[in-house]
Amino acid sequence: MDLNVVKTFITVAEFNHFRKAAERLFISQPTVTVHIKQLEKELGVTLFERDGKKIRLTESGRAYLQHAKRLLETYEEGISDLQSISQGYTATLKLAISPLIADNILPFVLKQFLKNHPEVEISVEIIESLEIESAVLRDTADIGISCLPCYSSELQQTLLFSDKVILVVPHDGRDFESAPPLEEEEVLESNYLLTHNHPGYWDELSHTVKQFFPRVRTMKVSQTHITKRFISEGLGISYLPSSTVRRELLEGRLLEVETKSFPLPEANTYAVTKYQHTIQQEFLHFLSRFRV
């Protein structure tokens, strides 16, 4: 079977239009017609119903469409694998990683891993932690690196890191050594508290903060890197994993406020896998050596 013919069929089914399919495929409209007739003859069924210039899939056409897509996907995956081999790759690893982790430890870890494993071809998809479990279940990711634990009995979970959470405020311009320490109550009641920048601890933490400081004003900001920018610009304060603000604290752009009112939570990082193949095990072993 000519896969160009199959591709033409899929494209016509997408547009329900011969001319638009021809434009997408950069072929002539008569060639599209020939391809469809050729495929119908080979399969022994009618794939499209024609009503003047309008067309639509027949019942047989709808049934075959899914098979055609899988056939083309298998072919393209085979080509991709051969190209990877020709480029020196002997293994592939698909990672699904939360934005917070990707922004924090991923660049350094990947650089070191690829230096030691140049034969591994890695693809990275940045998705929210809530979606990572589903991605691993669907096999669109070999490993998920998430801020949330997984609950599926089909998956295995490994706790990689536990990071302490701290209260972070903008630098107030005062001398660090001579200025009096910032007071927890004062900063919470005089600034917006930027919440929900981490999926693991904010619901409970927000409730706790409100119990101890009922006058605190809150603003939801879903991304950690945006939260840090807002804090630097004086738009608020937040409780963040210490590893995410290590550089800003060292450079003096942000300050940590000592908290005594209630225990702060920890921010956990989990690895989620469906299979324990060699490449997954090697990557997780490598990743476990790096502490946030």
Give the least confident one: 23-27, 117-121, 143-147, 216-220: 117-121
Q: What is the pLDDT of residue 51?
A: 76
Q: Identify whether the C-beta of residue 146 lies closer than 8 Å to the C-beta of residue 98.
A: yes
Could you tell me which CATH class the domain 3-86 is placed in?
A: mainly alpha
Bigger pLDDT: 261 vs 50: 261
Contacts of residue 125, defined as CB under 8 A and 6 or more positions apart, other chains included, come to 94, 95, 96, 97, 135, 140, 141
CATH 3.40.190.290 residue ranges in the chain?
163-265
Percent pLDDT > 70 in the chain is: 91
Q: Which residue has the tokens 């920018």?
A: 229
CATH 1.10.10.10 residue ranges in the chain?
3-86
Q: Identify whether the C-beta of residue 255 lies closer than 8 Å to the C-beta of residue 169.
A: yes
Domain 91-161+268-288: CATH architecture, name and number where available = 3-Layer(aba) Sandwich (3.40)
Average pLDDT, the chain: 87
The predicted-structure confidence for 84-99, as pLDDT tens digits, reads as follows 555 544 578 899 999 8
Q: What is the pLDDT of residue 72?
A: 85
Bigger pLDDT: 106 vs 260: 260
Q: How far apart are CA 127 and CA 87, in angstroms?
A: 28
CATH topology of domain 163-265: D-Maltodextrin-Binding Protein; domain 2 (3.40.190)
Buried b (16+ CB within 10 A) or exposed e, 51-84: eeeebebeeebeebbeebeebeeeeeeeeeeeeb
Q: Identify whether the C-beta of residue 144 lies closer than 8 Å to the C-beta of residue 96.
A: yes
Bigger pLDDT: 176 vs 51: 51
The predicted-structure confidence for 211-227, as pLDDT tens digits, reads as follows 999 999 999 998 898 99
Q: What is the pLDDT of residue 221?
A: 94
